[in-house]
Structure formats: C-alpha cells, structure tokens
C-alpha cells in the first residue's frame, strides 16, 4: 500500500509540474502576441465578468482572488474575510483593439465606487472595490480616471475604490467562471435582488 501511495503522490506531482509548465508557456505566448492584463475588484465577480466579455478586443475574463497573502485560497476562505483577498476579475485584452481607458470606464460603470463596506447586498472586505495596476501606465491612467469621475459631479459621496499594485491572481473555482452563462436565471435574479441592477440603471441607464 505504501509503495502505491508513493507512486500516486509522485504521479500527481509530475502532473502539477507538467501543468504549470504548459500554463507558463501559454502565458508567454499570450505576452508574445501583445496581449495585456487588467485586474479589477468590483464586488461579486459574477457581475464583473459580463461587462468586460462584451467588449471587442477582450480575449478572456477570469474570476478569481487577489490582494491578500493566502496562497491558493478557496471561495469559503476568501469570503470569511481572513485572507485579505478580494473577489476580482482579470481581463486579458488586445490593447490594439480596446484601450485601458475603455476598461476603466467599463469598471466604474458597473460598481458603486463610494461603498466602503462591500458592494450592494454583499458585505465584507472581500467585496470591496479596487483597481490593480500591472504597470506604471495603468497606474497613471487609473488615477486620472478616478480623479475625473470624482470631479464629474455624478457621485454624492467620495470615491473609496483603491488603486493598488497587482500581485498574484488566483483563479476561482471552475463553477464561478462565466457564471452568467452557466446559470443565467440565477445570475439575473441575483444581480437584481442584490440591488446592483437598479443602481446601474439609475446611475448610468443600464438595463
């Protein structure tokens, strides 16, 4: 039994190493093609994925966790508020087609940037909003867009959305990915019931 267990462990480790290598190669290939990353925390990641998916030039969007110290956190761990992570969406995009400014505008138009306790019905630190910049250009553009929104007169309270340097991004469990496609009825009911849909329609005329 011990030998079989050891063999199983070795086999699993080899698989993980192989998978990591493949993922690393895929990442390098994406970078070679000129694709870039943008990362946004806007409360429940179910509701942050769809707006970016609709943009031409966006290659993919992943739901995940970032901003904390826990390695490979689970959904339950993150929502407990003890990991320091926020629910977030990582956007892979072609800057030749869609600008980072457009991504920023999309982000602002899908959150309440004045809520310091979470987003809508989702309360707690893991649901706070933040922009995670991947380079100096993104940081400057994020700061500029935040200032412009604050001075626009659209909001009655100060913006509390953080602008932070991007760190490790951990993809969420598979059932969270593209949730709005997999479970559209529940997704739409949640978006409405949470108060997000009404807020976005009131603020930006979104349906």
Domain locations in the chain? 32-204
Q: What is the pLDDT of residues 48-77, one digit of tens each?
A: 999 999 999 999 999 999 999 999 999 999
User: Percent of the chain beyond pLDDT 70?
Assistant: 84
Judged against a pLDDT cut of 90, whether residue 179 lies above it is answered with: yes
Catalytic position from the list 38, 41, 44, 142: 44
**Is the confidence at residue 139, as pLDDT, over 90?**
yes
Model confidence over 86-136: pLDDT tens digits? 999 999 999 999 999 999 999 999 999 999 999 999 999 999 999 999 999
> What's residue 31's pLDDT?
53
Q: Percentage of residues in the chain with pLDDT exceeding 90?
A: 82
Whether 2 is catalytic is: no
Residue 25: what pLDDT?
36
Q: Which CATH architecture does the domain made up of 32-204 adopt?
A: 2-Layer Sandwich (3.30)
Is the pLDDT assigned to residue 158 strictly greater than 70? yes
Q: What is the pLDDT of residue 32?
A: 47
Q: Assign 81 to helix, strand or coil.
A: coil
Q: Average pLDDT, whole number, for the chain?
A: 87
The larger pLDDT score, comparing residue 188 to residue 10, is at 188
In this model, does residue 1 exceed pLDDT 60?
Answer: no
Handedness of CA 89, 92, 97, 101 (dihedral sign): positive
β-pair type (36-42, 129-133): antiparallel
Residue of 172 and 32 predicted with greater confidence: 172
Counting Cβ atoms within 10 Å, is residue 123 exposed (0-12), middle (13-18) or buried (19+)?
middle
């Amino acid at each position: 039994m011990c030998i079989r267990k050891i063999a199983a462990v070795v086999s699993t480790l080899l698989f993980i190493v192989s998978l990591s290598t493949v993922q690393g190669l895929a990442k390098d290939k994406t970078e070679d093609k000129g694709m870039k990353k943008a990362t946004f925390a806007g409360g429940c990641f179910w509701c942050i994925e769809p707006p970016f998916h609709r943009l031409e030039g966006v290659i993919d969007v992943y739901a995940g966790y970032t901003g904390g110290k826990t390695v490979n956190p689970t959904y339950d761990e993150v929502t407990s508020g003890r990991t320091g992570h926020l629910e977030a969406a990582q956007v892979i995009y072609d800057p030749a087609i869609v600008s980072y400014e457009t991504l920023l505008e999309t982000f602002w138009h899908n959150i309440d940037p004045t809520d310091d306790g979470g987003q809508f019905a989702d309360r707690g630190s893991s649901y706070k909003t933040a922009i995670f910049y991947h380079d100096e250009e993104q940081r400057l553009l994020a700061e500029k867009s935040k200032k412009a929104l604050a001075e626009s007169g659209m909001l009655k309270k100060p913006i509390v959305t953080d602008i932070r340097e991007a760190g490790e991004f951990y993809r969420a469990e598979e059932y969270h990915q593209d949730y709005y496609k997999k479970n559209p009825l529940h997704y739409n009911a949640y978006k409405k019931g949470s108060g997000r849909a009404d807020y976005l329609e009131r603020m930006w005329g979104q349906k």
